[in-house]
Amino acid sequence: METTETFDDISRSLQNGEIDCRSIVEKYLKTIQTKAHLNAFVEVYTEYALTQADLIDQKLAEGKAGRLAGMVVGIKDVLCFQGAEVNASSKILSGFKSQITCTAVQRLIDEDAIIIGRLNCDEFGMGSSNENSVHGRVLNAADESRVPGGSSGGSAVAVQAGLVTAALGTDTGGSVRQPAAFTGVIGMKPTYSRVSRWGLIAYASSFDTIGIFTHTVRDNALIMEVIAGQDQMDSTSSHKEVLPYSQLLKLNKRVKVAVLKETMESEALGQEIKENTQAILSRLKDEGHEVTEVEFPLLKYILPTYYILTTAEASANLSRFDGVKYGYRSAQGQSLESMYKTTRSEGFGEEVKRRIMLGTFVLSASYHDAYFTKAQKVRRLIKEHTEDLLSKFDYILMPTTPTTAFRFGEHSGDPVAMYLEDLFTVQASVSGVPAISIPNGKDKDNMPIGLQVIANSFKEAELYAFSEYLTELTA
Ligand code: GLN
């Protein structure tokens, strides 16, 4: 068995009796070990995974196994798994053990997927390069001198390098789609509220989503169909019916695609990515689909809106980490107040502190209306315009990122240059609509390029079907 095989291949081999779950897990464990230098995993659940494999082999023999039997999954270090440590890649959560299991993870386990370990990421999901992690940086397997993207860098590389069949990540402003683009895999962010956030360590609660990394659209759709849906533990989770996405992958109509003039004309957009995107747009026209260039003048306001609102939410969410209730506590504090201060100063990394300060500033009494309230109004406008466009067109198409994977250190000294990496991914996050990144060729350095497809809220089925069609077209 090749470790980069898809779940379809694995299922077939399982059914034919060529392999069993134990041998699948053993093979992945071996690959994880040989590629340990990539630093994708922060913890491997060796014993647990092998025990589960034996249990599922027994279930298979009795014909009682779930839909995901044989699938081996890694989870981002912000998703709780009861009894195991979870750090959000932060020193402040060092030694902290999950009290609960994340609903999305539990639903995978209930269908007999095997959770094999915890994956590296940027601290609390803040970053675009996986350089902000207490566990150290993750290497891009396509070129180890380059970043894997972030914040779910470990999840992307685990799939890219064949360390797992699939991985869960989280996407607040692009953290599944951007690393997927940088590593040449499929990365899906669902509609906000489609997947329960119970057991996900919050970054910005009105943006956070749990997303999926896979090699194929089909595997991705299958996992979504398992983890999506209402959950009584998350009152914001949607009651809307979950469709059998993996069985609805056939595109049976000519589609209408919108291309935003401002994205294709953006100064930040690299030439090769622009050309690859234009090539796929021409292919679509040749195939009889409608491709229309439209204006979206609000584009330039999306990134500032995103960074004002997410830092505000982060400053509130992260206030709970004070040295009393969770993880790390500084030994320096002489009083309760100074213990809070030293714990937070020592426990949080640079980027997280920058965002807490920025968020606290935009929420402060004197600036609340000028920044926070204003950004909320702009968010509403962006959301309305995006939804309006998506009621006239089936999809919006754009590159996932303005550049391909950059080198380590390239943006570390310049937070604004790093934030610009999110230029194209934040629209779907600010609007709450689903979006996916699929591979679209490579640049001259052989680095993967991502193509992003955006659809209207709860159109996951349509998004998957079109993505399946596009992967055939780009192949
Ligand atoms: N790179 C973006 C940020 O730093 C997105 C992060 C995310 O989606 N978690 O906020």
> How many distinct structural domains can be found in the chain?
1
Cβ of 175 closer than 6 Å to ligand 1, yes or no, is yes
Give residue-wise pLDDT tens across range 105-159. Answer: 999 999 999 999 999 999 999 999 999 999 999 999 999 999 999 999 999 999 9
Helices (H) and strands (E) in the chain, counts: 16, 11
The C-alpha atoms of residue 352 and residue 89 are separated, in whole angstroms, by 11
Compute the distance from residue 32 Cα to the ligand 1 centre, in Å.
26
Question: Is 328 within the bounds of a domain?
Answer: no
Name the residue with tokens 């914001």: 236
Q: Which ligand 1 atom sits nearest the alpha carbon of residue 150?
A: 1
Q: Is 126 in the pocket of ligand 1 (CB under 6 A)?
A: yes
pLDDT per residue as tens digits for the range 364-374: 999 999 999 99
- Ligand 1 contact via 171 beta carbon (within 6 Å): yes
Exposed/middle/buried for 11, CB within 10 Å: 0-12, 13-18, 19+? middle
Interval 302-313: pLDDT, tens: 999 999 999 999
Distance 84 CA to ligand 1 centre (A): 25
How far is ligand 1, taken at its centre, from the CA of residue 415, in Å? 12
CATH of the domain at 58: 3.90.1300.10
Judge whether 436 lies within some domain.
no
For 37, residues 6+ apart whose C-beta sits below 8 A from its C-beta are 139
Residue 329 domain-assigned (yes or no): no
Model confidence band, residue 168 (pLDDT cutoffs 50, 70, 90): very high
376 in a domain, yes or no?
no
- 290 found inside a domain: no
3-state class (DSSP) for residue 50? helix
C-alpha 44 to ligand 1 mean position (Å):
25
Atom nearest to 128 CA in ligand 1: 1
Ligand 1 atom closest to the Cα of residue 170 is: 9
**CB of 125 shorter than 6 A to ligand 1:** yes
Task: Note whether residue 135 is domain-resident.
Answer: yes
Q: What is the pTM of this model?
A: 0.98
Full domain range(s) for residue 84: 7-247
Domain assignment of residue 352, yes or no:
no
pLDDT on residue 412: 85
H/E element holding 269? none
Question: Which pLDDT does position 4 carry in this prediction?
Answer: 66
Residue 3 has pLDDT above 70, yes or no: no
Range in 49-63, 110-124, 323-337 with the lowest mean pLDDT: 323-337
Residues designated as active site: 76, 151, 175
Rg of the chain over all Cα atoms, to the nearest angstrom: 21
Query: Is the residue at 364 inside a domain?
Result: no
